[in-house]
Amino acid sequence: MAEPQYQRLLVERKGADGEVLWLSLSNPAMRNALDDKMQLELIDALASAKDDISIRCLVLRGAGKVFCSGGDIRGFEGMNPAKGEWFSIHRGQAIQNLFTMLGKPVIAAVDGWCLAGGTELALMCDFIYAAEAAKFGLTEIAIGLLPGWGGLTRLPRAVGARRAREMIYRAEIVSASEAQRAGLVNRVFSTADELYAQADLAATEIAAKSQAAVRVARGVIAETAGASDEVAMSLERGAVVYLLATPDVQEGVNAFIEKRAPKFNQQP
């Protein structure tokens, strides 16, 4: 089945069975800014990936030497509170909900500028790999606004409240190495080629794991953020009990005993 043709996204399936989906933001005239068309296409692509059980992992990157320069500032011209509320629900919240409900991990592979809405997109992903040339920042305050796609919530969780306040109040732009030290970025690679090779390796490894286990782990980690130890441990125990009824667990146990690689995700 042919992949949909978009104007602002490049779509590629990788892996032996096409189990890894690469989405590349592509709006070179605006340094991959999130204009209205890109937002709509991103919503469509994520919704399709959510419903496609053959996709087990996604990689989000920017085409060219920029990840995403942020939102389309021209779109805020003349925007009133009523339109702003509609926009925040039908664009920002819709995209965030799709990332949350996707049921499969997303790796952000960041090279070059990753600012404002671009940093918010990266924060929606499960983890972030970056090239040394990457630059991060929630810079909306420079035009009198604030992050509205989860940045005010997710950045403090990633780097701590004090560091997030400093970055947001000052519209600070940080290097990839500083972002890694702060806890925003998982790994930094010297070149874009190395970045994408390592993102591909990670996605391939994740796709080979039990899809049920990865999906449940993703859900439990999200649900236990900020929860008490008692609630968190209860959800963790429930996840283990649930997985014991899945074919992948028996396959994993048999493979271990038989000293062979497990074959997870087999369709009945």
Does residue 2 fall inside a structural domain? no
Q: Do 40 and 65 belong together in one domain?
A: yes
DSSP string over 166-185:
HHHHHT--EEHHHHHHHTS-
Q: What percent of the chain has pLDDT over 70?
A: 97
Residue 130 has pLDDT above 80, yes or no: yes
166 in active site: no
Task: Select from 168, 188, 208 the last residue of a domain.
Answer: 208
132 in active site: no
pLDDT score for 86: 72
How far apart CA 61 and CA 255 sit, in angstroms, is 35
- Two structure tokens written together for 80: 């009133």
The residues near 219 (Cβ < 8 Å, ≥ 6 apart) are 239
Residue 1 has pLDDT above 60, yes or no: no
Contact 261, 208 (CB under 8 A): no
Does residue 264 fall inside a structural domain? no
Complete edge-to-edge strand list for the sheet that includes strand 174-175: 113-115, 135-137, 174-175
Does residue 149 fall inside a structural domain? yes
pLDDT tens digits, 46-92 = 999 999 999 999 999 999 999 999 987 777 777 778 777 777 777 88
Region 132-142: mean pLDDT is 97
Q: What pTM does this model have? A: 0.92
Number of separate domains in the chain: 2
Locate tokens 């286990």: which residue? 213
Q: Do 64 and 175 belong together in one domain?
A: yes
pLDDT score for 267: 65
Q: Do 158 and 235 belong together in one domain?
A: no
Does residue 79 fall inside a structural domain? yes
Gyration radius of the chain's alpha carbons: 19
pLDDT score for 187: 98
The catalytically annotated residue of 3, 19, 77, 120 is 120
3: pLDDT confidence band, cut at 50, 70 and 90?
A: low
Domain holding 192, by residue range, is 9-208
Q: Do 127 and 25 belong together in one domain?
A: yes
228: pLDDT confidence band, cut at 50, 70 and 90?
A: confident
Please report, for residues 32, 134, 155, 160, the alpha-carbon distance to residue 177 in angstroms, rounded to integers and kept in the order given: 23, 9, 16, 17
Does residue 4 fall inside a structural domain? no
Lowest-confidence segment of 2-6, 141-145, 215-219 by average pLDDT: 2-6
The catalytically annotated residue of 19, 41, 140, 178 is 140
pLDDT score for 80: 77
pLDDT score for 2: 59
Locate tokens 């390592």: which residue? 198
Q: Do 227 and 191 belong together in one domain?
A: no
pLDDT score for 224: 87
Within 10 angstroms of residue 225's Cβ, the number of other Cβ atoms is 9
Alpha helices for 88-191 (secondary structure H): 94-101, 117-124, 151-159, 161-170, 176-182
Region 105-126: mean pLDDT is 97
Task: Select from 189, 208, 227 the last residue of a domain.
Answer: 208
